[in-house]
Amino acid sequence: MIHMKVLPKGMYFPGLWLMGALLFFGLTGCTQKGGATFPAPTPGKVVGEVDLDPKVPLWMTHGSLSVVALMKGPTSPDWLPVARVLFVHPTFPVPFEISQKDVRLTGITLQGPVRLVARLSLESGSTLVASGEYSGSAPVEGTVGGEPVHILINRKLPSEGGTP
């Protein structure tokens, strides 16, 4: 025989509230990749996320991260940098959005396919922490107004002084 204890009227409300809160936050808060929130694809914008490879020293996050969009122009056979966004002391993963307001060249309209390159730079000025630059690029071309792009910073760039 099973004995069930009946709770007073007021005891059901906190349990229902807690269960409702867990369902709401469980369904909406844990569905994004890596905990970051991707901006939704928007016409006229390139959106995505930049991640940091575990091999990159953590002190590099005290520098600055720039994400550059490159486009081929109607008269240019090469990919040229046309737009940039900058993040100081980034916390990874970094969601980004590049739009027409980020274009640095007069007369250029951000449209069509783009290549994206991210660069993490630190000028420490200290003998205790090494300056340096790391880079990463999107494995495929992005599209203005297209799906979010993922960039992994994983390559150490050669230093200007000739020493690694």
CATH number at residue 127: 2.60.40
pLDDT of residue 96: 95
Is residue 6, in this structure, part of any structural domain at all? no
What letter does residue 51 receive in the DSSP assignment?
Answer: E
Q: What is the pTM of this model?
A: 0.69
Is residue 26, in this structure, part of any structural domain at all? no
Is residue 57, in this structure, part of any structural domain at all? yes
What letter does residue 103 receive in the DSSP assignment?
Answer: B
pLDDT of residue 132: 87
Is residue 20, in this structure, part of any structural domain at all? no
Q: Count of domains in the chain?
A: 1
pLDDT average per 10 residues of sequence, the chain (164 residues) = 54 47 40 47 84 91 93 80 94 94 88 93 73 88 89 88 46
pLDDT of residue 84: 95
Distance (Å, whole) CA 64 – CA 90 = 7
Here the tokens at position 142 are: 């992005």
Is residue 29, in this structure, part of any structural domain at all? no
Residue 78: domain span: 34-156
Is residue 89, in this structure, part of any structural domain at all? yes
pLDDT of residue 107: 84
Q: Which of 62, 46, 145, 24 is nearest to 102 (CA)?
A: 46
pLDDT of residue 23: 42
pLDDT of residue 2: 55
pLDDT of residue 33: 40
pLDDT of residue 140: 82
Distance (Å, whole) CA 11 – CA 33 = 37
The Cβ of residue 12 has, within 10 Å, a number of other Cβ atoms equal to 10
Q: Which residue has the tokens 């939704």?
A: 40
- Alpha helices, H only, the chain: 12-29
Is residue 151, in this structure, part of any structural domain at all? yes
- Residues forming beta bridges with residue 118, ordered by sequence position: 67, 136
Q: Which residue has the tokens 């099973």?
A: 2
Is residue 23, in this structure, part of any structural domain at all? no
pLDDT of residue 67: 96
Distance (Å, whole) CA 139 – CA 19 = 42
The three-class DSSP label of residue 97 is strand
